[in-house]
Amino acid sequence: MIVLHHGSLREYAQRLLEAAGVPAKKAWLIADSLVAANLRGVDSHGVQLLPHYIRQIEGGGMDPAADGRIATRSGGCAVYDAQRGIGQSVAAVCCDLAVDLAREHGIGAVTVREGNHFGACAYWAERMAGAGMVGIVMCNATPLVAPWQGKEKRLGTNPICMAVPGPRTWLLDMATTTVALNKIHKAALCGQESIPAGWAMDAEGNPTTDTQTALAGLPMPLGGYKGSGLAVMVEILCAVLSGGGMLTDQGGLRRLDLPMRIGQFYLALDVERFMPLEEFTARMQWVRDTLKNTAAAVGYDEVLVAGDPEWRAEDERRESGIPIEPEVWASLQETARKLGVEPPPETAG
């Protein structure tokens, strides 16, 4: 393992992006969002994505110069045309727009079309929660998932995230498949021949634990037909409502022949329109405490609530550094060589 301090890794990621033609402010935002995922232990959405981002930039799928524009705005609602801009840059604008709309109207909803990958949803939901909002973020994705009872790729992993104001109270970030697809890609990149049962199916819809068969097959919907239904819900809010690419209209992070055309949905609820923020955070803390104080079932030491594993990983990795698998590091090093970027000193872990 290579182990790097999060600040060093973020600075390295920013230099790679700037060398690829991304303006400094946008490069910092991308780097910060990816390293934030690594800090939280969500390595599937961390710096392993950088080579794919850079290939998208070089291939024209991501336009570093594009900022997007508000296509329509009415009351607390807006549609944002991302114009193939950097996903993180557009996400920051849309989070802030949703918060501004919520402060004016109580609720702010922004749906996005023609967007790009923006990292992990949690980074953006937390941005809205930090402004005193209940923040909800969704996005559709590359059609690699079959609808329930099908075996043809129509849906994305279509994640759903919700964050609330308050100090580490509750943060849900989940795909509508059993795991995010990037976890399977990460397993393949790291040479793992097998993945846990329940993650994926083969091309005919049969469960598989073989990594390569899973990549050629289909991610498993979360909870069967329920996950498939949630994925369609995300598709409606992110794609149908935005007027953007739907289902098979989309490309992907690992494809250069089609624009990604990702749709996103940001919802900000101004807590103060419902009750004082202090009362809300106290009530949320009671909910958390009551759940945490539940007696653990056989085989478990405690009850975890959404956000616990990631916050613990962040505390540990801020202290001891972020571990990077050799295969991921080699991919970053190859990208750095092509761009003429000097990597940071390696620390063996």
- pLDDT given for residue 21 in this prediction: 94
Burial, 275: exposed, middle or buried (Cβ in 10 Å; 0-12, 13-18, 19+)? exposed
Residues of the chain with CATH 3.30.60.50: 178-220
pLDDT, residue 202, reads 83
> So what's the pLDDT on residue 194?
82
**What is the SS3 assignment for 148?**
coil
Q: What is the rounded distance in angstroms from the CA atom of residue 11 to the CA atom of residue 16?
A: 9
Measuring CA to CA, which residue among 114, 12, 121 is closest to residue 62?
Answer: 114
**pLDDT tens readout for residues 161-171:** 999 999 899 99
Helices 326-339 + 50-59 axis angle, to 10: 30
Q: What pLDDT is attached to residue 211?
A: 86
Q: According to the model, what pLDDT value does residue 190 have?
A: 74
Q: Find where tokens 């991304």 sit.
A: 22
Q: Are 250 and 156 in contact (CB under 8 A)?
A: yes
What confidence score (pLDDT) does residue 193 get? 78
Stretch(es) of the chain classified as CATH 3.30.1370.60: 69-177+221-274
Q: Which residues contact 340 (CB under 8 A, 6 or more apart)?
A: 19
Give me the CATH code for the 69-177+221-274 domain, please: 3.30.1370.60
Closest CA to 247 of 118, 121, 137, 158: 158
Sheet containing 107-115: give its strands across. Answer: 69-74, 77-81, 107-115, 262-270, 133-139, 160-163, 171-174
- Two structure tokens written together for 231: 């994925």
Q: Please, where in the chain does CATH 1.10.1530.10 lie?
A: 2-59+322-339
CATH topology of domain 2-59+322-339: Hypothetical Oxidoreductase Yiak; Chain: A, domain 1 (1.10.1530)
At 280 the pLDDT is 97
Q: List, for the chain, all residue ranges whose pLDDT scores fall below the cut of 50.
A: none
- The yes or no reply on domain 178-220 and CATH 2.60.40.10 is no
pLDDT the model gives residue 348:
53
| pLDDT recorded at residue 237 | 97
